[in-house]
Amino acid sequence: MKDNKPVLKVHGVRAVYIEGEYIKLDSLLKYASIASTGGEAKYRIQNGEVFVGKEVCTSRGKKIGPGDVVRIGNDVILVKNDSK
């Protein structure tokens, strides 16, 4: 019997380095060039397209810190600390 579970295909995990303890989710999407404008980031977040970890996140002000994984479509972002 064939398993009919949906398959998630991703392009690969991309590391995004941030300064400080966190970045807000909508700002991260712009910073990582996933969204070209704040309005696009807001729309995609509120439309339920963004996952933080394994959970859908609809809060654009969600604090994202080093170690968090954000997925939107086929893009996967691993947030890392830019410690110099």
- State the pLDDT at residue 54: 93
| pLDDT-wise least confident of 5-9, 21-25, 43-47 | 5-9
- State the pLDDT at residue 18: 93
- State the pLDDT at residue 56: 97
Q: Closest Cα to residue 60, out of 34, 36, 31, 38?
A: 38
What domains can be seen in the chain, in order of their start residue? 22-81 (3.10.290.10)
Distance CA 76, CA 84 (A): 24
Cα pseudo-dihedral 36, 17, 15, 34, rounded to 10:
-10
pLDDT band at 1 (very low <50, low <70, confident <90, very high): very low
Which has more confidence, 7 or 21?
21
| Residue 45 predicted with pLDDT over 80 | yes
- State the pLDDT at residue 82: 82
